[in-house]
Amino acid sequence: MSEAATVDTANTTTAVDIRGVSKIFGAGSDAFTALDDVSVAIRENEFFTLLGPSGCGKTTLLRLIAGFEHATRGTVLLYGEDISDQPPYERPVNTVFQSYALFPHLTVAQNVSFGLEMLGREKSEIREAVDRMLKLVRMEPMRNRRTEQISGGQQQRVALARALAPRPKVLLLDEPLSALDLKLRKEMQGELKRLQHETGITFIFVTHDQEEALTMSDRVAVMNEGRILQVGSPREIYDRPGDRFVASFIGEMNFLVSKIESVESDRVRVVFPGGAAAFAERPKDFEPAGEVTLAVRPEYVRIENAGTPDTLPATVTEKVYFGTDTHYHLRLHDGAELVSRLQNARGREDTHPVGDRVGVRWATGSAQILKG
Amino acid sequence: MAEPAAQARRGRRFSVKNLPGVTGMAMLCFVLLYAPIVTLVTYSFNAGESIALWEGFSWRWYAAAWENDTVQEAAVRSFVVALFASAISTTLATMAALGTTRTGPFPGRTAIYVLINQPLMVPEIVTAVALLIFFASIKVATGYSGLAYLIAAHSAFCVPFAYLPIRARLEGMDPTLELAAADLYASDWMAFSRVTLPLLTPGIVAGAMLAFVISLDDVVITEFVKSAGQDTLPTYMLGQLRRAISPEVNAISTALLAITVVLLTAFFLLSRKRRVDGE
Amino acid sequence: MTADAVNPTETAIRERQVRRNWLLCVPALVLLVFAASGPLLIVLVYSFLEPGDYSGVIWKFSTEGWFQVVFSRDIFDETISLADAHLSIIWRSASLSLATTALTLLFGFPTAYFIATRPESHRAAWLFLITIPFWTNLLIRTFAIMEVVRNEGILNSALKGLGVIDEPIQLLYTETAVLIGMVYVYLPLMVLPLYAAMERLDFRLVEAAYDLYATRLRVLRRVIIPLVKPGIVAGSILVFVPSLGAYVTPRVLGGGKNMMLGNLIELQFGQGRNWPLGAALSLTLLVIVTVALLFYVRNVSRGSRYG
């Protein structure tokens, strides 16, 4: 794993520090490793997202921070204090559950006040905090409703208000938007960003939706099979994926097998099995050699007329219309396939019909050599 | 929408769910189920002595039963036993339900299930005989022959009846609610008393009502366990049968029936509400 | 804390949880062992003792109790013969229980099917109509049947009114009355599991069968019945087991002549004053019931593959 935390400017406090955490469920032959030696530092006040496919360990990691699970190995630190052995009710972190888990026997306001009551706060303070929270999530008119009498989106807001009311040091959000329909989800994405901004609380957000992760987060950790593969800003994750999994999980990516021909100061020249050659950015953290995978996003692949200098000869095999853009499926002469995504515009409908011979190229900086 | 007339012209349409004769058979079944009960209830209000000849409406058999000291005593005994038995069995069943759900399998859980459900599987007469033998020797050894034997026996066979609705309720409960409580700074005890218990209450009430009805209705085990002069209403009624059947017994039956119907209706409404807020 | 040391919390928490579970169950288990399961072992012990003169037992080992379940010894010449009285009672118990099971299935199947095919909002109400008799005191229901089958009861009056018979038929204190009574009291026990199975029935499968040219009878035989088989088995067991151990119904409706196993057992603890025989008979009943339950468990676990 790359030492992302040390690469970034370390002028902020670390809120949550995960150190060498492993979690193994079951024992013997049934044992399942949910987390495999995970280390990550989450900074104060950031919107941090754990992104990965289902079963990658992201929810387990969140539950470990909340205290619902206990690490098999390793420690969890909150502002430098080891909280690994603390029960959930002693940890100053709160959770927004995927199912919201609102108490069905309590009203909206009673749900929001629950945490403060458990902390033994003054009645007047509780009342004030509940009012403030309900205003914050715009649920004031519903304060005396039963939780089953309000819509999914409203339940979501109440769950947020309930978790924010005790002013936790860290707010944990376990796929909170997955139960909402698309339109409401978009709305709540903006709402969450606003809440994080207004409260200044560290958010740790779990999702399997890459778009959600990219649009909302300050930083993203991409996880797979119990490991963190890469930590970085959405832009870094998208433009400089650390490995093949990250590259294919986030956005779409063309992978082309090639061989390193020469390494220059900031670029490398590769040759494809068919003999054609192209350039790619020189990787910063390793020295490429021999057979490598070249990765290039479909939107960076340009299509020119056949025979244009510095292009790879290819044939259009299929065209798929997507509304905003069209995907051109192309086959290089050595048989390798790749996709080019061109934005649609009036008057460009008939360029490059299926079967057309074309030339393919990309800017050196948009192609990347992957490890292995 | 087709016109009603057009629909009528087409006659009865094919329906996937229909099987010939099912409705008739089902209706016959409901009539047969209720006719005897309705007859019994009706004749408990008969002014005459006969249980075959209707001589007009009267409360006299209820009055007779009410004024009968033996009946009164048996009724009080029945209620005392049923109250204790339902309270004890529901408390123990609630604890057992909390101990057997939501933590996954653990060593001995199957054995616990078997023990708890055992009274449902062993024929009542066998349990009755076993308790007769066991309690007889305790009675000899201790000299005590009070109501405790009946209460203990009733509490035991009521446990599975109380356990089932409580366990069902617990299993239907979202376990993340308790996690949410813990996350919001509730200690184990606070999470239990403020979240689990309030949500469990309908199940506990349902269990207690079932246990009460079961205890109130028991004949066989009571008949074998009771000491001399410890008749409950059902054993009193069974004893009366050796002589001529009297409308008085009908009146007592109807009263017991009314209690059962009231408790069951409450149970029915309670479990309907449960389905609503279980959403 | 070193990173590679295994955290002890996890196993400690699990152990604490299991201990807590057991502690919560202990009070119920103590009560059940004391007043339900434990005494069954004493019955086993008593079945191997000698009967006392008036009641109870003499603490001397004997297999006479078990012997007497099936055989009888002549008082004078000690010749051994089959205990006809006992065997006929066991036979009556078994045959009446089987007949009860068959008849409740005959009535219960259409009733359950009827309820299961009602609109969802009506089902609970129909089901409630089945549950009321189910929870009504067994003794009361038996009384109700008694009034129906009496010489002056509504059944005879109705038949007389219709001109079918001139003289009332003696029904009360016959095997027929016991059978009618048992079918009546155990019918809800058949309907409820049948309904549970039918409610889960996917009627798209029935549609598919009709679509593939099956007639109604074939749909019933080849699709519906196989799919609800677990419910049929469960209902049959739920009816058969208590029928076999029935005590109240044969006592009230059968009189002294039409005893079943339950009444025979009671007799040994009453007038018969033969506790070891009573204990042995109880265990015989328990064994038959256990076999039936094991049959059920095996059938249901096999049946669950389909459902």
Q: What six digits make up the tokens of B127?
A: 């349990």
- List the chains bordering chain B where 3 or more Cβ pairs fall under 8 Å: A, C
Residues B42 and B125 in one domain: no
**Position B156, amino acid:** A
Residue C95 confidence (pLDDT) above 70: yes
Quote the domain boundaries for residue B36: 18-58
Q: What is the pLDDT of residue A124?
A: 95
Residue B180 sits in a domain of what CATH number?
1.10.3720.10
Q: Distance, in angstroms, between A119 CA and closest chain B CA?
A: 6
Of the ranges A169-178, B142-151, C222-231, which one carries the lowest mean pLDDT score?
Answer: C222-231
**What is the rounded distance in angstroms from the CA atom of residue A257 to the CA atom of residue A336?**
8
**What is the rounded distance in angstroms from the CA atom of residue B236 to the CA atom of residue A57?**
66
Q: What mean pLDDT is predicted for residues B171-182? A: 92
Q: Does residue B8 lie in a domain region?
A: no
Closest CA to C126 of B29, B20, B273: B29
Residues B39 and B109 in one domain: no
CB contact under 8 A, A70 and C6: no
CB contact under 8 A, A88 and B179: yes
Residues B104 and B233 in one domain: yes
Residues B101 and B167 in one domain: yes
Residue C306 confidence (pLDDT) above 70: no
Q: Distance, in angstroms, between C14 CA and closest chain A CA?
A: 11
**What is the rounded distance in angstroms from the CA atom of residue C39 to the CA atom of residue A94?**
52
- Mean pLDDT across chain C, nearest whole number? 87
Q: What is the pLDDT of residue C2?
A: 42
Q: What mean pLDDT is predicted for residues C218-247? A: 89
Q: What mean pLDDT is predicted for residues B168-187? A: 92
Task: Say what angle helices C9-32 and B109-121 make with each other, to 10 degrees.
Answer: 20
User: For residues C219 and A83, which has the higher predicted lDDT (pLDDT)?
Assistant: A83
CB contact under 8 A, C38 and B134: yes
Residues B46 and B101 in one domain: no
Of the ranges B230-239, C155-164, C229-238, which one carries the lowest mean pLDDT score?
Answer: C155-164
Question: In three state form, how does the secondary structure of chain C look?
Answer: CCCCCCCCHHHHHHHHHHHHHHHHHHHHHHHHHHHHHHHHHHHHHHCCEEECCCCCEEEEECCHHHHHHHEEECCCCCCEEECHHHHHHHHHHHHHHHHHHHHHHHHHHHHHHHHHCCCHHHHHHHHHHHHHHHHCCHHHHHHHHHHHHCCCCHHHHHHHHCCCCCCCCCCCCCHHHHHHHHHHHHHHHHHHHHHHHHHCCCHHHHHHHHHCCCCHHHHHHHHHHHHCHHHHHHHHHHHHHHHHCCCHHHHHHHCCCCCCHHHHHHHHHCCCCCHHHHHHHHHHHHHHHHHHHHHHHHHHHHHCCCC
Closest CA to A176 of A199, A203, A201, A200: A203
Q: Does residue B148 lie in a domain region?
A: yes
Closest A-chain CA to B184 = A115
Report helix, strand and coil shares of chain B as percent, to nearest 5.
Answer: 75, 0, 25
Report the Cα–Cα distance between both ends of chain A, in Å, rounded.
14
ipTM confidence score: 0.86
* Test mutation, B15, B28, B29, B32, chain C, max C CBs within 10 A: B29
Of the ranges A294-303, C7-16, C121-130, which one carries the lowest mean pLDDT score?
Answer: C7-16
Residue B49 confidence class, pLDDT cut points 50, 70, 90: confident
Residue A330 confidence (pLDDT) above 70: yes
Residue C42 confidence (pLDDT) above 60: yes
Question: What CATH number does the domain located at C83-306 have?
Answer: 1.10.3720.10
Q: What is the pLDDT of residue B242?
A: 66
C-alpha C68, offset from chain centre:
25
Interface contact B51, partner C, CB < 8 A? yes
Residue B272 confidence (pLDDT) above 80: no
**What is the rounded distance in angstroms from the CA atom of residue C126 to the CA atom of residue B193?**
37
Residue C43 confidence (pLDDT) above 70: yes
Residue C8 confidence class, pLDDT cut points 50, 70, 90: low
Q: What mean pLDDT is predicted for residues A21-29? A: 85
Residue B199 confidence class, pLDDT cut points 50, 70, 90: very high
**What is the rounded distance in angstroms from the CA atom of residue B96 to the CA atom of residue C28?**
7
Q: Does residue B63 lie in a domain region?
A: no
Q: Does residue B1 lie in a domain region?
A: no
Residues B39 and B74 in one domain: no
Residue B181 confidence class, pLDDT cut points 50, 70, 90: very high
Q: Quick count: other Cβ atoms within 10 Å of Cβ A235?
A: 10
Residues of B in contact with A114 (CB under 8 A): 181, 184, 186, 194
- Mean pLDDT across chain A, nearest whole number? 90
**What is the rounded distance in angstroms from the CA atom of residue B162 to the CA atom of residue A244?**
57
Q: Which residues pair with A202 in a beta bridge?
A: A170
Q: What mean pLDDT is predicted for residues A179-197? A: 89
**What is the rounded distance in angstroms from the CA atom of residue B37 to the CA atom of residue C128?**
16
Nearest by CB to A89, from B174, B176, B185: name it.
Answer: B185
| CA-derived radius of gyration, chain A | 25
Q: Does residue B10 lie in a domain region?
A: no
Residue B60 confidence (pLDDT) above 90: no
Residues B208 and B92 in one domain: yes
Q: Distance, in angstroms, between A146 CA and closest chain B CA?
A: 10
Q: For the segment A279-299, what is each residue's pLDDT rounded down to a tens digit? A: 999 988 888 888 999 999 999
Q: Is the Cβ–Cβ distance between C24 and C17 less than 8 Å?
A: no
Q: Does residue B12 lie in a domain region?
A: no
**Position C256, amino acid:** G
CB contact under 8 A, B184 and A68: no
Residue A109 confidence (pLDDT) above 50: yes
Residues B181 and B50 in one domain: no
Q: What six digits make up the tokens of C194?
A: 């049948």
Residue C69 confidence class, pLDDT cut points 50, 70, 90: confident
Q: Quick count: other Cβ atoms within 10 Å of Cβ C257?
A: 8
Residues B83 and B44 in one domain: no
Q: For the segment C182-208, what is each residue's pLDDT rounded down to a tens digit? A: 999 999 999 999 999 998 888 888 888
* Percent of chain A whose pLDDT exceeds 90: 70
Which residues, numbered 281 to 300 in chain C, qualify as contacts with chain B under a Cβ-Cβ cut-off of 8 Å?
282-283, 285-286, 289, 293
**What is the rounded distance in angstroms from the CA atom of residue B16 to the CA atom of residue C204?**
9
Residues with Cβ within 8 Å of A3's Cβ and at least 6 positions away in sequence, in order, are: none
Residues B31 and B123 in one domain: no
**Position A176, amino acid:** P
Q: What mean pLDDT is predicted for residues B244-248? A: 73
Q: What mean pLDDT is predicted for residues B233-255? A: 83
CB contact under 8 A, A20 and C3: yes
Q: Is the Cβ–Cβ distance between A55 and A223 less than 8 Å?
A: no
Residues of B in contact with A87 (CB under 8 A): 182
Q: What is the pLDDT of residue B244?
A: 60
Q: Quick count: other Cβ atoms within 10 Å of Cβ B216?
A: 23
Q: Is the Cβ–Cβ distance between B86 and B215 less than 8 Å?
A: yes
Q: Does residue B4 lie in a domain region?
A: no
Q: What is the pLDDT of residue A338?
A: 94
Q: How many structural domains is chain B composed of?
A: 2
Q: What is the pLDDT of residue B51?
A: 64
Where in chain C are the domains?
1-42, 83-306
Q: Which residues pair with A302 in a beta bridge?
A: A361
Q: Is residue B174 classed as helix, strand or coil in its secondary structure? A: coil
Q: Does residue B126 lie in a domain region?
A: yes
Q: What is the pLDDT of residue C76?
A: 76
**What is the rounded distance in angstroms from the CA atom of residue B30 to the CA atom of residue B41?**
17
Which residues, numbered 84 to 143 in chain C, qualify as contacts with chain B under a Cβ-Cβ cut-off of 8 Å?
107-108, 110-111, 113-115, 117, 124, 128-133, 135-141, 143
